[in-house]
Homo-oligomer: A and B are copies of this chain.
Amino acid sequence: MGGTVAAPAAPPDGTLTERYRAVRALTEQLAAPLSAEDQTVQSMPDVSPTKWHRAHTTWFFETFCLNGNLPGYRPVDPAYAYLFNSYYEQVGARHPRPQRGLVTRPGIAEIAEYRRRVDEAMDDLLERVVPGRPDLAALVELGLHHEQQHQELLLMDIAHVLSVNPTRPLYDERPVPEPGRPDEAGWVAHPGGIVSIGHTGEGFAFDNEGPRHEVLLRPFAVADRLVTCGEWLEFMADDAYRTPTLWLSDGWYTVQAEGWESPAYWHRTDEGWFVHTLTGFRPVDPAEPVVHVSYYEADAFARWSGHRLPTEFEWEAVAVSVPVEGNLLPAGYLHPRPAPPADGRPRQLFGDVWEWTASAYQPYPGFRPAPGAVGEYNGKFMVDQQVLRGGCAVTPGGHVRPTYRNFFPARARWHFGGVRLAADR
C-alpha cells in the first residue's frame, strides 16, 4: 500500500511487538482519509463499515489474546462482545451482519479509544506473558494476519460505499497514471505430473493451506500476463453479455437479473467507458488488467477466448517458482498496473488482482480445522465458493504467498478479482 496512504510497511523480520504495532498502525492510517460518516455506512450486506473493521480486529485481540491471559484485564465494554463478533459461534451471540450499518454508537472516537486501550494491554501482554506462551504467540500472529485481511476488506468495502454515492467521491486524490501499452500474452508451459500442493510449514499460513499433499496434473500452460481491459472491451464488443451460450447457467441468470453489461464500477459515458476507482473517475485503460469481474464473467471470458481458467493446483505449481518480491506492486498503487515487459515467466502473479481459478473451495485431504473458536476461521465456508489465488492491489505486502487460498462466491464482484487464462497442452 503506498502513496498518500502509504504506511510503515510491517517489517516482516521484526519482533512480534514491532510487527503488532506496524500492522495496527496501518489500519488507522488506511481509515484516516475517511470521515465519521464514511466510516459508518454499510452499502450492501456483504460490506462492513470502516469503523466496524477497526473495532472487530480489536475485538479479535481482546477476545482471543487478552481475555483470560493478561492478569487483571477487563473488557473495555461488555457490549462490544456482541457488536463486534463477526461469525464465531463458539464465543456467543452476535449482532446480525446486515445491520452493521445501523449502529451509530460507539462512534469513531470511541472506537479509536477502544483500539488505544487494547493496544496498551497488548503491549503488556507481548512483553510480560507471550514470551513463555508459544500458543499465545501463535494467536497474536493469527490476529495480525486477520487484521491484514481486514485492511484489504476495509479498502474494497469503502470502494463500494463511495461508489453508491451519486457524487462519486474519491478515497484518495492522486495523479492518474499514464495509460500503458499492452503486449501480446505469451504462454508458460508446465509438464504436469505429481506436484506437491500446500504450505510447507515455514512461516505463517492459514489452516486451509494444508495439509501439504500430492496432486496429479496433466500437461498445461498458463498465460504469462493477466487479461487486460482492452481484451475485455473486445469481449463486450462481441456482444458477450448478451450471448447465453458463453455462460454458466447461473451466470446467465445473474447477468440478466443484475443487468450486467461490463465489469463492476464501469460506466458508459459520452467519451467511452470510464471506471470509478478509489483514486479517481477516469477512462478505462486498455493496458491495465481487468478487475471487479465475477467468476461467471471470468469463466465466460475464458470460454469466449477458446481457453479456460487454471485450477488452483496448476496456478500454485507455476507460482512456487516465481519470487513474490519483484511481482508486488510498487508503493503508491491502489489499483492494478499494466504488465511489465515479458521475461518468459508469468507476470503479475502477485499483487495486482486476485485470479479466479476453476477450483471450487474444498478442504485438502486430511484437513482438520484448528480446535476452538479460531477453527471457525476457514473450514466452515467450504461450499459454493471459488478459489482465487495471488493477491491484489489493496492486499498488504506481507500477506501474499503462493499457497494462499482466497475465496468468494461466484457472483461476487466487489473484491479485486481478475483473470489469467490457461490451456491444456
Residues of A within 8 A of B (CB): 35-41, 43, 51, 79, 82-83, 87, 89-90, 95, 99, 101-108, 161-162, 164-167, 169, 194, 213-216, 218, 244-245, 247-252, 295-296, 299, 358-360, 362-363, 365-366, 376, 380-384, 386, 409-410, 424
Q: Are A424 and B36 in contact (CB under 8 A)?
A: no
The reply to whether B104 and A35 form a contact with Cβ atoms under 8 Å apart is: yes
Check B248–A104 contact: CB distance below 8 A.
no
A82 touches B166 (CB 8 A): yes
**Is there an interface contact between B381 and A384, defined as CB atoms closer than 8 Å?**
no
B382 touches A38 (CB 8 A): no
A167–B37 touching, CB < 8 Å: no
Q: Cβ of A82: which chain B residues have Cβ within 8 Å of it?
A: 166
The one of B89, B214, B299 in contact with A252, judged by C-beta atoms closer than 8 angstroms, is B89
Which of B40, B102, B194, B409 contacts A216, CB < 8 Å?
Answer: B194
Task: Pick the residue among B43, B251, B366, B376 that contacts A218 (CB under 8 A).
Answer: B366
Closest B residue to A82 by CB, please name it.
B166
State A278–B394 Cα separation when bound (angstroms).
42
How distant is the Cα of A363 from the Cα of B215 in the complex, in angstroms?
16
Q: Is there contact, CB below 8 Å, between B167 and A105?
A: yes
The answer for the CA separation of A215 and B299 in the assembled complex, in Å, is: 24
A204 CB, min distance to chain B CBs, angstroms:
23
Residue of B nearest to A192 (CB): B365
A102 touches B245 (CB 8 A): no
**Which residue of B has the minimal Cβ distance to A105?**
B169
Chain B residues, Cβ within 8 Å of A194: 216
CB-based contact B37/A104 at 8 Å: yes
Contacts of A363 in B (CB 8 A): 358
- A247–B37 contact, CB under 8 A? no
Which of B51, B215, B299, B384 has a CB less than 8 Å from the CB of A384? B384
Report A327 CB to chain B, min CB distance, Å.
27
How distant is A375 from chain B, measured CB to nearest CB, in Å?
Answer: 8
* A169 CA to B107 CA, complexed, in Å: 12
A294 to B: closest C-beta gap in Å:
11
A380 touches B249 (CB 8 A): yes
Given A83-B166, A216-B215, A366-B424, are A295 and B104 also a contact pair (CB < 8 Å)?
no
Complex: A77 Cα to B62 Cα, angstroms: 45
- Contact call B35/A107, Cβ cutoff below 8 A: yes
CB distance from A295 to the nearest CB of B (A): 7
Is the Cβ of B35 less than 8 Å from the Cβ of A105?
A: yes
Question: Whole-angstrom distance from the CB of A8 to the nearest CB of chain B?
Answer: 27
A249: chain B residues at CB < 8 Å are: 87, 380-381
Q: Which single residue of chain B is at the shortest CB-CB distance from A217?
A: B365
Q: Quick one: which of B87, B161, B362 contacts A359, CB cutoff 8 A?
A: B362
A366 contact set on B, CB distance < 8 A: 218, 424
Are B216 and A216 closer than 8 Å at their CB atoms?
Answer: yes
Distance between A334 CB and nearest chain B CB, rounded to angstroms:
18
Give 26 A-B contacts (CB < 8 Å), ordered by A residue: A35-B36, A36-B40, A37-B37, A38-B105, A40-B41, A41-B41, A41-B101, A43-B102, A79-B167, A87-B249, A89-B244, A95-B166, A101-B101, A103-B167, A104-B165, A105-B169, A106-B167, A194-B216, A215-B216, A218-B365, A245-B376, A248-B381, A250-B383, A295-B383, A299-B383, A383-B410
